[in-house]
Amino acid sequence: MDEYARFAPHYDRLLNPFLDGVRRSVAEQCARLGAGRVLDICCGTARQAAFFQGTQVRYAGVDVSRAMLDAARKTGTTALARADGTTLPFADRSFDVALVAFALHEKPLDVAEAVVREALRVARYGLFVDYTLAERNLELPFQWLMQVPERMVGGDHWRCYRAFMAAGALQGMVHRTGLKVQERVSLFRGGAAIFVCGQP
């Protein structure tokens, strides 16, 4: 069963106003790294591809959801494949950058860690975008706000989110997988971040 089938037709309309700024920042980081080949793991509707138009980047996206990939193809994005982020059908170092954006917190911790390791198998750099723990009191309200949509979705999604945050959020994920953080870009006033990571 495709858990995103009901949501896919409405995904961009609901979330683009909040996430397009993040996607722009991701594209800027890829440009800074001189990336020519970018793999978007758990790409959803592949909206990120629009932010590479007119650049040197060759974008490819993978997702397990047929519904999300169907929605992506309707936008004209064609370099797409249905694949599990823990077992990608690509050779080592096939890409310059592997991106995982707001997908790790949706998964059981062991699955999320496997996705992170697989991203760094197929690419020289990993760009991981997700929720972070507040490191200053000023950031606490924004961390609280970030949980509102997760709570609304409920079910396994909410349980995975809570486990992700309890285990240190994105900071904890990077620590457990031994990645080297080369740059951190704060998002949503500290509620989330982009971590640019090299090989462990």
Question: How do residues 41-88 score in pLDDT, each as one tens digit?
Answer: 999 999 999 999 999 999 999 999 999 899 999 988 889 999 999 999
Sheet strand arrangement including 123-131: 80-82, 58-63, 37-41, 95-101, 123-131, 192-198, 180-187
More confident residue, 134 or 1: 134
| Other beta carbons less than 10 A from residue 68's beta carbon | 24
Considering Cα of 42, then 44, then 185, then 165, what sign does the dihedral take? negative
pLDDT at 133 exceeding the cut of 80: yes
Extract the runs of DSSP E, i.e. beta strands, from the chain. 37-41, 58-63, 80-82, 95-101, 123-131, 180-187, 192-198
Considering Cα of 194, then 70, then 9, then 53, what sign does the dihedral take? positive
Q: Which fold has domain 8-198?
A: Rossmann fold (3.40.50)
Question: How do residues 172-181 score in pLDDT, each as one tens digit?
Answer: 999 999 999 9
CA distance 62 to 150: 23
Q: How far apart are the first and last CA of the chain?
A: 35
Q: How confident is the model at residue 188 (pLDDT cuts 50, 70, 90)?
A: confident
pLDDT value at residue 119? 98
pTM: 0.89
pLDDT at 2 exceeding the cut of 70: no
Q: What is the mean pLDDT of the chain?
A: 87
